[in-house]
Amino acid sequence: MQKFKKLFLFILIFGLVCFMTACDTAEDDPVLEHIEGEYNEDAPIVVTATAEAYGGPLTVEITVISGEIHSISVTDHNETSGFYQSAFEAIIPPILYGSLDVDAVSGATLTSNALIEAITAALIEAGIDVDAMRRVANPFGEADLTAIYKNTEVVVIGSGGAGMSVAMELQQEGIEVIVLEQMSFTGGNTRVAGSALNSINPDLQRYTEMGSTEMEFLLYLLSLDPVDDYMSRWLENVEEEFEAYLEAGYTHLFDSIYLHMIQTYYGGDFLANPALIESFIRESLDTVNLLNDLGVDWDPNIRSAVGSTWIRSHRPTGNFGGAGNDFIQPLIDIYLELGGILLTEHRAMELIVENDAVVGVTGETSAGAPFTIHADSVVIATGGFGYNVEMREYFNEFWPTLAAHIPTSNLPVSTGEGIMMARDAGANLIDMEWIQLLPGINGFGAGGDIMNAMFFNTDGERFVREDGRRDDLAYAVLSQPGGFAFAISDGAFIDDVLGGEIRATFTGEINSWGAARFMAETLEELAEILEVPYENLVESLAEFNEIVAGEKACPFGRQLFELPIGLQAPFFVLRGVPVVHYTMGGIEVNTSFQALNPQGEIIEGLFAVGEAIGGVHGTNRLGGNAITEVLTHGRILGQNLSGTR
């Protein structure tokens, strides 16, 4: 199936929905109708059919079990991206809901007609009464307030990286799963992520030399006293690996999963659950390799995302559309190609609890129709609460304020509803006070590369180590005049290293946050545009370049450098303000991602993963660790639930 390559494209397929049939209901609500999906052991009927579309043959595959449509998949087509999606979105869902009352979509008429023709032919061959389906009104044409009931083995709430990693693993093993997404599009915050994934990668890291500052930082970490048995074991492993590295006479960058664990623990002030740190970092390279197998192409240059503190950030080349699409779209594609059910505009609102166990979820569609899904297991993968000003102000204990004037990089869906649903069902919440801000000047290039950027304020002066922790960077930026700052790089990096692809984004327009991107051919012109003292800017760059060359020590303790700045015009500058980016707190879980109550006891049937859980990052998350964590922990949970681990 052709891959999606644009941001915010919608799902191709919905699945596992029964025919809509009227039935007797309680006397006080005689018009209530419902859909009931019951388990059965009948052999599925799988039928394929092909019709001629705009770009050539379009092939669908349907699965029917006991006379009910189980799934519809578009298995092959050559339609034009940006046009075919609207047809797929409008036509497939109502057919899965039991209605053939569908019309061609304007602007995609040939695609629509071919899709309807192929699906209809397949339904007829499978023995479905298509004439009866044509008499069923399209439930998406008008607001349909019919109550909907379903049964499944696992329901996953949230279609971001964590939720789709769980769902893909389950679908691959034939486990019945339904994914609910509140938004009209899939992918959550993963789709708009900064495109960096932290992992060791010896095959690529050997092309990066080990600098003196990296060596100093490593030796410092090795000198730390362990705070627990986990850290003691990690330190012992790093010492052994580093000794072997030195004995071999290597000069390339040293890295280790245990070093990554130590840095993550250290970067969160040792307040995280070390077992959760170990679980996602130990298998981080497996996650990279999985995405590689699913078609993601990687930039061979391993770099350092803002706040990552080490050179291990992987950047996709954007063959799935750039930004976070490369991390989420391959998972969605596989899930849907296997007939997975992904229901957008379905807002989960309350967990169903019976005998102290979670057995399902209730909610409402965007049209106002209530739904109930009964399941053996419910997975909360709804992300954090960065968009919820009331919640972040209530829990905040570190920042002076996180009121509405502090913007967020999160989507409007990041309201913490999944976290609070779990709390209402008895789950314990931890680390809720730790809320991460991005400094707002997040380096250059995909993944927020920090290797070739210098921060400065309105006085044209450096004020912080650019490779520091995100909370330290954000606090430093907030402390500058006006509460904003700048980051500068030049053509030697933007054009020669990154290929100049981001040049077009430097328009000089200031957005509603107060952020902007500027470009100038000379430093003097740049200083005039930014209204900063030219002499101070030149002096700051000269000192920075002396530090890069090793001629003097960085007064702020920066450790990661690559190229000097100012050798090649033009000059590129980011103007940024800190934004709420990530919430470290959430549902307390064990290493099997089972939700725990305040007494540390397991809540049967309730699981959580991704940004919705607490205990993974402590007080501060390292840049580039989120994608690694949500994908890896999601994969682990999916394998646990499917019994393959």
Model pLDDT for residues 240-275, shown as the tens digit of each residue? 999 999 999 999 999 999 999 999 999 999 999 999
Model confidence band, residue 82 (pLDDT cutoffs 50, 70, 90): low
Strand segments (E) across 159-315: 177-180, 197-198, 313-314
Q: Which CATH code is given to the segment(s) 325-434+585-642?
A: 3.50.50.60
State yes or no: pLDDT of 19 exceeds 80.
Answer: no
At residue 81, the pLDDT reads: 59
Pair 343, 119: CB distance under 8 Å: no
- Is 0.85 topped by the overall pTM? no
Q: Where residue 54 falls among pLDDT bands split at 50, 70, 90?
A: confident
Q: How far apart are CA 357 and CA 359, in angstroms?
A: 6
Look up the CATH number of domain 440-577: 3.90.700.10
CA distance 527 to 525: 6
| Domain spans of the chain, in order of start | 1-146, 197-314, 325-434+585-642, 440-577
Q: In 3D, which of 417, 422, 329 has the Cα closest to residue 631? A: 329
- Kindly list the strands in the beta sheet with 45-53, ordered across the sheet, starting from the edge strand earlier in the chain: 45-53, 56-65, 68-76
Question: In a 3-state reduction of DSSP, which class is residue 363?
Answer: strand
Question: Sign (positive/negative) of CA torsion 615, 176, 363, 162?
Answer: positive
| Nearest residue to 376 via CA among 156, 175, 152 | 152
Average pLDDT over residues 380-399: 96
Question: Secondary structure of the chain: what % helix, strand, coil (to 5)?
Answer: 30, 20, 45
CB 571 within 8 A of CB 519: yes
Q: Which long-range contacts (CB under 8 A, 24 or more apart) does 206-209 make?
A: 206/252, 206/253, 207/252, 207/300, 207/301, 207/302, 208/252, 208/253, 208/302, 208/311, 209/251, 209/252, 209/253
The burial class, CB within 10 Å (0-12 / 13-18 / 19+), for 275 is exposed
What's the pLDDT band for 136 if we cut at 50, 70, 90? confident
For range 589-602, the mean pLDDT: 98
Q: Is it the case that residue 4 has pLDDT exceeding 90?
A: no
Opening angle at CA 409, ends 403 and 414, nearest 5: 75
What is the predicted pLDDT for the residue at 140? Answer: 66
Q: How much of the chain exceeds pLDDT 90, in percent?
A: 69
32 vs 120, more confident: 120
Least confident span in 3-12, 324-333, 355-364, 591-600 = 3-12
Per-residue pLDDT at 18 exceeds 60: no
CATH topology identical between 325-434+585-642 and 440-577: no
Q: Which residues contact 133 (CB under 8 A, 6 or more apart)?
A: 19, 95, 98, 99, 100, 101, 123
Asked if 641 and 166 touch (Cβ cutoff 8 Å), the reply is yes
pLDDT of residue 244: 98
Q: 229 pLDDT band (50/70/90 cuts)?
A: very high
- pLDDT value, residue 83: 61
Q: What is the mean pLDDT of residues 346-356?
A: 97
Rounded to an integer, the average pLDDT of 403-426 is 95
Cβ atoms < 10 Å from Cβ of 203: 10
Round to whole Å and give the CA distance between 584 and 600. Answer: 19
End-to-end Cα distance, the chain = 29
120, 121, 123, 126: CA torsion to nearest 10: 170
Q: Within 10 Å of residue 321's Cβ, how many Cβ atoms?
A: 20
Q: 138 — phi, psi (to 5°)?
A: -60, 115
Q: What are phi and psi of 610, to 5 degrees?
A: 85, -155
Q: Express each pLDDT in 571-584 by its tens digit.
A: 999 999 999 999 99
pLDDT, tens only, 541-559: 999 999 999 999 999 999 8
Could you check whether the bond before residue 570 is cis, i.e. omega within 30 degrees of 0? yes
Measured distance CA(594)–CA(45) in Å, rounded: 36
Share of the chain above pLDDT 70, in %: 91
Instruction: Output the 3-class SS for 432-480.
Output: CCCEEEECCCCCECCCCECCCCEEECCCCCCCCCCCCCHHHHHHHHHCC
Alpha helices in 126-211 (DSSP H): 130-134, 161-172, 202-205
The pLDDT of residue 141: 61
Q: What are phi and psi of 323, to 5 degrees?
A: 50, -135
Q: Among 274-278, 479-483, 560-564, where is mean pLDDT lowest?
A: 560-564
pLDDT at 10: 30
Q: Does residue 175 register a pLDDT over 70?
A: yes
Rounded distance between C-alpha atoms, residue 576 and residue 579, angstroms: 9
User: Tens of pLDDT along 55-69?
Assistant: 889 999 998 888 888
pLDDT in tens, 517-547: 999 999 999 999 999 999 999 999 999 999 9
Q: Is 148 in contact with 34 (CB distance < 8 Å)?
A: yes
Contact by Cβ (8 Å): 37, 354 = no
The CA-atom distances, in angstroms, between 600 and each of 579, 587, 610, 640 are 34, 12, 20, 20
In this prediction, residue 463 carries a pLDDT of 97
- pLDDT > 60? residue 34: no
Mean of the per-residue pLDDT values of the chain: 88
Separation of alpha carbons 423 and 417, rounded Å: 10
| Higher-pLDDT residue of 497, 507 | 507
Show the tokens assigned to 459: 């006085």
The count of other CB atoms within 10 Å of the CB of residue 496 is 12
Note whether 260 and 200 are within 8 A (CB).
Answer: yes
β-pairing, 370-380 vs 357-365, is: antiparallel
Reported for 477-484, long-range contacts at CB under 8 A and 24+ positions apart, including other chains, are 477/439, 477/440, 477/441, 477/576, 477/577, 477/578, 478/400, 478/437, 478/578, 481/457, 482/458, 483/577, 483/578, 484/440, 484/514, 484/575, 484/576, 484/577
The angle that helices 284-293 and 325-337 make with each other, rounded to 10 degrees, is 60
**H or E element, residue 608:** strand 602-608
Q: Check whether 180 has a pLDDT greater than 70.
A: yes
The whole-number pLDDT of residue 124 equals: 94
